[in-house]
Structures are given as C-alpha cells and as structure tokens.
C-alpha cells in the first residue's frame, strides 16, 4: 500500500450473503494486493436498522443507514456497491450513476434487457462493475489465457452446467430468489447468467439459441431449471444447463471447451484446479493435465500463498475488486461492466422468448 495517495469512500446497499462477500473483498483487497486507493468503508445500508448496525459492527463499516436514497445522495460517497435483490438494482444503480458515483452491482444486472440498457446508458459516464466474480477464479483466468494463446485451437464444443440442489428445500421455499417480482427469474438469472458470462468471455458471441424452462414445484413462478442449445460466432456449438434440482450437487458450476488443439474443463467445487488437455503432448502421455492453479506463474496466485495452498470462494471477489481498482487508477476500462452484463441480459431475454415460443432465436445482432 506504499504510495497510496487517494481515498475512496464506499457505500454498500444490501447486507445479505453477497453483502458479506463484498465486505470481505473491501477489507481484504489491500492485504493481498498493493491497491492504489485507500478504501474507506463509510456506510452499509439495509432495511432493518438493527441488522444494519450489527452488520456494520461485524464487518467494519463506519456507519449504517436504512434508506438507500439518502445513501446515494451523500456527497462524501465515491462508490456505490449494490447487492440487493434483483428488482431493486435498476433504481439504485441509475440514481447512483446520476449522482456521479461509480457503481458496482451484483448479477444479474437487471430484470430484463431493456432495463439493463437503461442502466448502462445512465452509467455511461461512470466506472461500472458487475460482479460476475467467477471470471477471476485463478483457474478460469488461466483458461482465458490458454484460449487467447491458441492452446485450444479452433473451438468445436462449449458445454456448461451449473448444478445446485436446494430448489426443493422447503426451508428456503419463500426466499426472494424464488419470487418472480423480486428475482425476475430462477435458475436463469441466478445461475445461467454466470455460465453465459463465462461463455462470452471464453468462447465469444452466441449467434442463436433455443431453450426450454422447467419448474418442478407447483405454483412456483420462476424457472427451477433452464436448458439451452447454442451456436457461436466462432462456428462452435454449445449446450447449457442450469438447475436448482441437481440432487447431490452443491455449487457445481462447470464448463468444458474442446478445440482443434486441446481442451479445458473446470468445476467450481474444485476451483483451484483446471483440467487441460494439450494435443501437443507426446502421444503416449496424452491425457488431461490436472493443474493445481496456485503457482507463481498462474493468475493472481502469487498475491496470496505459496504454491499448493488453495484459495476459496471469497477470493474471487477480492481479485475482482483488485483488478477494478487497478483499472481505475490506470484509466483502463474494466470488464465485466454494465455493457458486458447487458449482453448477458440480452441472451437471458432470448432464452425466455425461445422457451415461450419454442423456437430458435437469432441473437447475432
């Protein structure tokens, strides 16, 4: 943190699971990275006063408030971080952007593409971040490097599954994530959005898709599962599946790419590993390399611990924040930002339309 000269005053709206993950990132980024700003955790905002106060005490926020509008109106705030339920993202983000704040927002960015576009337009003059945090899992960042260096070659197949199993748990049946009015969708916005963001990062634009949705719980208004076939601009084909009814799978966010020179495979439940097949290996020892992505030569790893000492889920938020701050200091554009997330939202809209109309949808324009 030597040479740090600039303070950044942070406000966070929302104090649930994601509020904890983001608070941790704000606290930890400076421990592991030489970040170019001094982060001041000014205020956390949650609807219930007591909860907000307790959260602030636990996570080191200077104060707490219960009305996001007054937070966004504060002149001393530089950056507003949004981790509230999906239906509130737009109002908060637009207000924050119009007040000239930088805006960081949880995914899915919006309830639909039109809303996402409005948000992106409103924020076009401020730095933005959407917390598609998995882009910065070290193993996924390595995957991106390998793809970009041509180690996979011409892509043939992309295959993504995001498998969870809590959809049928009666204890959580009334969570906001199952309510249409607050979440917008089910597995689609929550899980498939991650898979699509990674696909766009690693395999480029999708040109057309067809999909189907499934809800297993009677009267539930959102999808429990979404299935997808897709064609990519790079001439590869893909399948996507996201579900909250994959019994036995807790957070199995997987993807595979097969190309002319090699292949990669990832599973978030083993997030420190990347399987890499290298078609250039001598024939007799060809087989997927089981790479423990913790080495000095791997993305992010040297900032944390020596080789072989694994990272966890929460580190993906730290690396995202550290990269954003570096971009900010160097006046480089950060990705994924609101425009990137709007592209995902466009695909989600197409998925919904396709499922309803039972047709392929052209998403190439």
Stretch that binds a second copy, among 75-83, 84-92, 99-107, 278-286 (CB under 8 A): 278-286
What is the full DSSP assignment across 13-61? E--SHHHHHHHHHHHHHHHHS--SEEEEEEEEE-SSHHHHHHHHHHHT-
Subset of 222-261 contacting a second copy (CB under 8 A) = 225, 227-229, 231, 235, 237-239, 241, 243, 245-252, 258-261
Stretch that binds a second copy, among 69-77, 109-117, 190-198, 310-318 (CB under 8 A): 310-318
Cβ distance to a second copy smaller for residue 205 or 307: 307
Residue 125 DSSP one-character state:
T
CB of 342 to a second copy, least distance (A): 26
Residue 212, both tokens: 């189907």
Q: Quickly count: other Cβ atoms within 10 Å of residue 77's Cβ.
A: 21
Subset of 258-277 contacting a second copy (CB under 8 A) = 258-263, 269-273, 275-277
Binder among 313, 332, 356, 364 for a second copy (CB under 8 A): 313
Q: Quick check: 174 binds a second copy (CB under 8 A)? A: no
What is the full DSSP assignment across 304-355? SSSTT----TTHHHHHHHHHHHHHHHHTPPPSS-HHHHHHHHHHHHHHHHHH
Subset of 104-163 contacting a second copy (CB under 8 A) = 142, 145-146, 151, 156-157, 159, 161, 163
Cβ distance to a second copy smaller for residue 211 or 337: 211
Q: Quick check: 305 binds a second copy (CB under 8 A)? A: yes
Q: What is the C-alpha to C-alpha distance for residues 91 and 77, in angstroms, rounded to an integer?
A: 17
Residue 163 DSSP one-character state:
E
310, 272 in Cβ contact below 8 A? yes
Subset of 42-71 contacting a second copy (CB under 8 A) = 54, 57-60
Q: Quick check: 5 binds a second copy (CB under 8 A)? A: no
By CB under 8 A, the count of residues binding a second copy is 99
Q: Quick check: 220 binds a second copy (CB under 8 A)? A: no
Q: What is the C-alpha to C-alpha distance for residues 353 and 270, in angstroms, rounded to an integer?
A: 34
CB of 29 to a second copy, least distance (A): 11
């Amino acid at each position: 943190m030597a040479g740090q000269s600039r303070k950044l005053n942070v406000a966070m709206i929302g104090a649930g699971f994601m509020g904890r993950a983001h608070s941790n990132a704000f606290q930890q980024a400076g421990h592991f990275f030489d970040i170019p700003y001094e982060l001041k955790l000014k205020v956390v905002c949650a609807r219930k006063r007591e909860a907000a106060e307790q959260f602030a005490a636990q996570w080191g926020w200077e104060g707490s408030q219960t009305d996001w509008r007054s937070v966004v109106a504060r002149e001393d705030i530089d950056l507003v971080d949004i981790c509230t339920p999906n239906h509130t993202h737009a109002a908060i983000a637009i207000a924050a952007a119009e007040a000239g704040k930088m805006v960081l927002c949880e995914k899915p960015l919006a309830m639909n593409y039109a809303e996402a576009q409005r948000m992106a337009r409103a924020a076009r003059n401020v730095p933005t971040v959407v917390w598609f945090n998995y882009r910065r899992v070290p193993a996924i960042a390595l995957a991106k490097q390998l793809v970009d260096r041509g180690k996979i070659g011409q892509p043939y197949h992309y295959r993504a599954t995001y498998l969870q199993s809590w959809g049928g748990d009666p204890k959580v049946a009334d969570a906001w994530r199952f309510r249409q009015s607050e979440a917008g969708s089910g597995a689609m916005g929550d899980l498939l959005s991650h898979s699509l963001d990674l696909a766009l990062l690693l395999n480029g634009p999708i040109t057309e898709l067809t999909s189907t949705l499934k809800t297993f719980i009677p009267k539930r208004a959102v999808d429990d599962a979404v299935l997808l076939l897709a064609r990519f601009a790079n001439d590869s084909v893909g399948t996507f599946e996201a579900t909250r009814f994959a019994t036995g799978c807790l957070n199995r966010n997987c993807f595979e790419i097969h190309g002319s020179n090699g292949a990669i495979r990832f599973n978030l439940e083993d997030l420190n590993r990347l399987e890499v097949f290298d078609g250039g290996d001598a024939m007799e020892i060809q087989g997927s390399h089981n790479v423990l992505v913790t080495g000095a030569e791997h993305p992010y790893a040297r900032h944390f611990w020596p080789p072989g000492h694994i990272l966890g889920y929460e580190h993906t938020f730290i690396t995202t924040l550290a990269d954003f701050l570096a971009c900010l200091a160097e006046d480089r554009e950060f990705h994924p930002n609101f425009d990137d997330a709007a592209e995902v939202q466009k695909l989600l809209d197409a998925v919904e339309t396709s499922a309803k109309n039972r047709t392929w949808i052209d998403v190439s324009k």
